[in-house]
Amino acid sequence: MSKSEHHDGDEYDEAFTPLNLLLSEAGEQFEQGVKSRYERQVDDVVDLTNDDEGDEFDPDHGTVLETITAALAQPAETGFTVLFQPTLKGEVAAYNIAGHADFVIVWPTESGAGVRVIDAKSTAEQKSYQQIQAAIYTRLIEQAVETSANIDSQAVTYSAGVVTRETEWESEFDISNHPSFDYRSRIADVTRMLQADGEIASTSEHDLSDAPHAITDKCSQCPYTESCTTEAFEQSHVRLLGLSESEQKVLVENGITTIDELADLCTAPNDDEWDPTTQKRAGFVSKDSLYYDLKADTTIGDSLPNLVYQAEAIRRQLSDPDDYQNGLWIPGTGKFQLPEDDPFDPTEVEFAPNSMIRVYLNVQHDHLRDRLVQLSARVSVSDPDIDSIRISKQRRTTSRVMSRSGLTQRLPITASSRCLRDSCPI
């Protein structure tokens, strides 16, 4: 691939920006709904929203400390104050951290005052990164209290939580039933990664073009997947095989970075040898080949020669994407538990050849509302004289959504299903 055909990651904004705008709007609506709920259930909600457009953050530490001081002077359980979008600033390990917390709840306790940072997310369940965000803001408030000369830091207890669409609200606010998690374990992880010699620092030293990374199932949730995958195809990189960073490192150390270099470790079987029982595994490799050194490596050895065959399959697909036909088997793997659908000798089986029924499901998921919006299937057999059957239905269902007011409602949804030809494997 020539350099003129290379595409940088920032060229793919249009692929994910519209979705991010949609998610951002839904998130803001959800936050306003949660705010409305707090306004109805607690004593006071202080809106500290600002329109900072630059990189400078003007922290609201003064308001936060004043609210905690007031709570320390009140009898226990006399009322709750919620700060909305307070700006917080501080340090975690070797890095400066600043941002806007969604909600900070402050209330009097028997021993002093309680502080709980709440992150509001329009998702079905809380995620690790959401907990990390709430935990960091909690730590920043801790720092502000510890440096204050007017507050006994030992009298303040801290906690953090994440409010989602599935959070159940009581008719009256009860802090003991409000979402919370062990934020100190999250802070321990973040502090370790943000050390001067930690993972974040070591990763930031890499140029974006050669930063080690893997393409895995987790990438499906990342808005930059299109950029990373396209770059891997342009470079014909071995990460297309879904290898971990450690597996890639072993190959790179042995001079293998591309699909071609990996496929060349072994001589590809002839077209009539792509059979699980015909070709011996690695029997077509010269004795002085690098293959055996890699086979002895504990990190990647067990994956060979399957990786070599997969690399060969991708090489064929990239060289002739229109006429490419994938190999039906990985050579040398032996017989499978299922019977062979088209055996060489039909008399060896008790069923008609080419009669295995295959069902391919096409499921479309709405990540915004965590629901299925489309479901279809294609049913086929190997017999070329029998047409495939496409199954698609339209039905009405209900979905729980958070309204602008923050109330959970059930709304009728019409789910239209259709089979996407391009997504069918055959």
Is there a single domain that holds both residue 314 and residue 384? no
Q: Is the pLDDT of residue 150 over 60?
A: yes
228 and 177 in a common domain? no
Give pLDDT, residue 25.
80
**Which has more pLDDT, 173 or 397?**
173
* Pair 308, 379 in one domain: no
pLDDT of residue 225: 81
Strands 103-108 and 81-84 turn out to be: antiparallel
Its domain, for residue 314, covers 217-319
126 conformational bin, left if phi > 0, alpha if psi -120 to 50, beta if neither: beta
Give the per-residue pLDDT at 115.
98
Q: Provide the CA 315 distance to its chain's centre, in angstroms.
A: 28
pTM equals 0.65
Catalogue the long-range contacts made by 24-33 (C-beta closer than 8 Å, 24 or more residues apart).
26/122, 26/368, 27/120, 27/121, 27/122, 29/122, 29/402, 29/404, 30/120, 30/121, 30/122, 30/165, 30/402, 30/406, 31/102, 31/120, 32/404, 32/406, 33/402, 33/403, 33/404, 33/405, 33/406, 33/407
Residue 65 lies in a domain: yes
Joined tokens for residue 348: 């060896």
> What pLDDT is recorded for position 295?
87
Backbone CA torsion sign across 256, 261, 265, 271: positive
47's enclosing H/E stretch is strand 44-47
Domain assignment present for residue 233? The answer is yes
Question: What pLDDT, on the 0 to 100 scale, is given for residue 73?
Answer: 95
Q: What is the pLDDT of residues 124-137, one digit of tens each?
A: 888 888 999 999 99
What is the predicted pLDDT for the residue at 279? 61
Binned at pLDDT 50, 70 and 90, residue 151 comes out as: very high
- The mean per-residue pLDDT over the stretch 160-175 comes to 93
Domain count, the chain: 3
Kindly state the percentage of the chain with pLDDT values over 70: 75
Question: Do residues 48 and 168 both lie within one domain?
Answer: yes
In a shared domain, residues 371 and 252 = no
Do 298 and 372 fall into the same domain? no
The H-or-E segment that residue 98 falls in is strand 95-100
Output the pLDDT for position 419. 33
Q: How far is it, in rounded angstroms, from Cα 280 to Cα 1?
A: 34
Residue with tokens 């629901």: 371
What is the pLDDT at residue 120?
A: 96
Residues 6+ apart with CB under 8 A from 184: 135
Q: Are residues 137 and 53 in the same domain?
A: yes
Q: What is the mean pLDDT of residues 368-378?
A: 82
Contacts of 314 (CB under 8 A, 6+ apart): 240, 241, 259, 263
pLDDT computed for residue 52 by the predictor: 56
Query: Quick one: pLDDT at residue 344?
Result: 64
Q: Which of 7-16, 18-27, 129-138, 183-192 has the lowest mean pLDDT?
A: 7-16
| pLDDT tens-digit series, residues 181-206 | 999 999 999 999 999 998 888 877 77
Among 2-11, 66-75, 157-166, 405-414, name the one with the lowest average pLDDT.
405-414
Query: Which sign, positive or negative, has the C-alpha torsion 79, 85, 89, 91?
Result: positive
Q: Alpha-carbon distance 208 to 422, whole Å?
A: 32
Give the closest residue to 215 by CA, choosing from 200, 201, 204, 225.
225
The pLDDT assigned to 98 comes to 94
- Sign, Cα dihedral of 302, 304, 307, 313: negative
| 351 falls within a domain | no
Does residue 2 lie in a domain region?
A: no
Output the average pLDDT for the chain.
Answer: 80
pLDDT at 6 over 60: no
Q: Residue 149's pLDDT band (boundaries 50, 70, 90)?
A: very high
Q: Alpha helices, DSSP H only, in 82-224?
A: 128-146, 183-193, 199-204
Residue positions counted in the chain: 426
pLDDT digits (tens, 9 = 90+) for 238-263: 999 999 999 999 999 999 999 999 98
Rounded to the nearest 10 degrees, what angle do helices 61-72 and 128-146 cross at? 70
pLDDT at 113: 97
For residues 395 and 45, which has the higher predicted lDDT (pLDDT)? 45
Least confident of 44-48, 59-63, 358-362: 358-362
Please list, in sequence order, all residues whose beta carbon lies within 8 angstroms of the beta carbon of residue 303, skipping any fewer than 6 positions away. Answer: 247
CB 381 within 8 A of CB 360: no
In tens, the pLDDT along 279-338 reads: 655 556 767 778 888 988 999 988 887 888 888 888 888 887 777 666 656 666 666 677
Last-in-domain residue among 300, 319, 338: 319
C-alpha triplet 61, 89, 179: angle, nearest 5°: 80
Could you give the count of Cα atoms lying within 13 Å of 268 in the half-sphere of its Cβ?
19
Q: Are residues 70 and 178 in the same domain?
A: yes
d(CA 316, CA 324): 7
Check whether residue 180 and residue 234 sit in a common domain.
no
Residue where a domain terminates, one of 178, 193, 208: 193
Q: Can you tell me the mean pLDDT for 83-99?
A: 95
pLDDT at 383: 80
Task: Determine, yes or no, domain membership for 325.
Answer: no
- Least confident span in 88-92, 116-120, 268-272, 413-417: 413-417
pLDDT tens digits, 101-112:
999 999 999 999
Question: Which residue is it, tokens 């949804």?
Answer: 413
Q: 215 and 226 in contact (C-beta within 8 Å)?
A: no
Please give the C-alpha separations between residue 234 and each of 6, 14, 211, in angstroms, as whole numbers. Answer: 7, 20, 16
Distance of CA 193 to the CA centre of its chain: 19
Confirm whether 139 is domain-assigned.
yes
Do 221 and 117 have their domain in common?
Answer: no
The neighbour count for residue 158, using CB atoms within 10 Å, is 17
User: Residue 362's closest CA among 317, 407, 425?
Assistant: 425
What mean pLDDT comes out for the span 347-372? Answer: 79
In a domain, 368, yes or no: yes
Q: What is the per-residue pLDDT for 409? A: 40
Residue 52 in any domain: the answer is yes
CB contact at 8 A, 93 and 194: yes
115: left (phi over 0), alpha (psi -120 to 50) or beta: beta
Residue 40 and residue 114 in one domain: yes
Whether residue 240 sits in one domain with residue 96: no
Q: Is 282 helix (H, G, I), strand (E, B) or coil?
A: coil
